[in-house]
A and B are shown apart, each in its own frame.
Chain A
Amino acid sequence: MEENSVEIQKKRNSGLTVVLIVVNVFLALLYANVTDNSEDQTYINYIWLAGSLTFLLGGFAFTYHGKDYRWGKWLFALSLIVSLGFFALLIMATSLAHAFHN
Chain B
Amino acid sequence: MLARLRKPWPDVRAERMLGAVSCLLAVLVVGMVVFVAIHAWPTFSHNGLGWLGSGETPETSFEKMQATSVNPPPSAYHLRAWPLLYGTLLTTVVSVACAFVVSLFASIFIVELAPERLRRLTIPVIRLLASVPSVVYGLLGVLVLVPFVGNHLVTASEKASVANTIELTGAGLLVTVVILTVMIAPIMIALTCEALASVPSSWREGAIALGLNPLRAILAVTVRAARPAIVAAAVLASARALGEAIMISMVSGGRAFKPNLDHGLLIFLYSPLRTFASTIVDFREGISAPALGSSLYAIALLMLLGGFVLSVCGYLIKLPLRKYQVRG
Q: Do A and B bind each other?
A: no
Residues of A at under 8 Å CB distance from B? none
